[in-house]
Structures are given as C-alpha cells and as structure tokens.
C-alpha cells in the first residue's frame, strides 16, 4: 500500500471499505494503481482503476463498476439466447435485427412457460426447427402442454 485515502460518508454508504494507491506483486515493481474495496451482500469486490482520487470518488467508482457489471450480465444472457459467440451480421441494422429476434423469442418463451428462457431452451428450439428434435421433446423440456386439436 502506498497511500490510503480517507473515506467519506457517501463512500461508506456505497459499501466502500478501502480506497488507496497500491502496487501489485511481491517485489512492488509494478506501476501504482488505485484499489477500491467494496463489501456487497454476497462478497467483497476489489475494483482497480487508474483514476486519481481527485477525478472520481470511491463511491462513484463502485457505482460505475456496478452498472458495468449489469451490462456485462445482460450481454452474457443475450449471447446465451442467441446461441452464438459472434454476431451474424456486421452492420448496425443486422445486429439490431439479431437482438430483436432473440428478445422476441425470449418474450414468447416467457409468456408460454412462465420462466425466464435459458440456453438449453433456445438450443432445443433450434434442434426442433432443423428437425433433429421432436415436438414432444421440445414441449417436455419447456414444460408446456401441446394444444389438442
């Protein structure tokens, strides 16, 4: 630890337990970085940034990382629904269509099953659409009843 900053009431309210400049490694030869330690309900987070104390308060660093994590989880869920590791289109319009398609499918599944759709549900739908899974398998996995005609 090189320098520890005093925590404000706002910092403490945001769960910040430490804010200061540190060097990483046993020999302390690395460049100094700012470390913000935040206590959450589940665990303790160690947030690292190069921002000096005057630029952003520790409470803002914690808030920014919290929002960033929510965005990361949203993209992870979306990629899970899409079932691919990359975009099928490169244009903004093509990406938008892919996202809209995934969201519409997720909403339809949510409405049909009452559960948030996951990777396996979307996978089974793709298997059904290409003909490698039967309708009975699909309805059993999704937990929905076939309509009797």
Q: What is the pTM of this model?
A: 0.63
Stated as kind and residue range, the H or E segment containing 47 is strand 44-49
**SS3 call for 94:** helix
C-alpha distances in Å from residue 108, one per residue of 59, 79, 121: 39, 17, 12
- Read off the pLDDT band of 110 (50, 70, 90): confident
Looking at the chain, the whole-number percentage of residues with pLDDT higher than 70 is 93
C-alpha distances in Å from residue 49, one per residue of 11, 23, 103, 112: 16, 12, 34, 44
**SS3 call for 27:** coil
Gap between the Cα atoms of 93 and 91, Å rounded: 5
Residue of 34, 31, 36 lying closest to 11 (CA atoms): 36
Q: Once rounded to an integer, what is the mean pLDDT over residues 115-129?
A: 81
Is the Cβ–Cβ distance between 33 and 12 less than 8 Å?
no
pLDDT at res. 84: 65
């Amino acid at each position: 630890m090189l320098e520890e900053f005093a925590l404000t009431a706002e910092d403490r309210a945001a769960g910040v337990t430490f804010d200061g400049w540190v060097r990483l490694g046993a020999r302390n030869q690395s460049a100094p970085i700012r470390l913000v330690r935040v206590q959450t309900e589940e665990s303790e987070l160690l947030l690292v940034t190069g921002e000096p104390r005057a630029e952003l308060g520790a409470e803002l660093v914690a808030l920014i990382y919290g929002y960033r994590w929510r965005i990361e989880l949203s993209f992870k869920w979306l990629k899970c629904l899409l079932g691919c590791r990359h975009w099928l289109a490169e244009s903004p319009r093509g990406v938008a269509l892919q996202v809209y398609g995934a969201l519409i499918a997720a909403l339809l599944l949510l409405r049909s099953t009452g559960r948030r759709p996951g990777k396996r549900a979307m996978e089974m739908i793709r298997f059904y659409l290409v003909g490698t899974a039967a309708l009975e398998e699909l309805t059993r996995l999704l937990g929905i009843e076939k309509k009797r005609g």
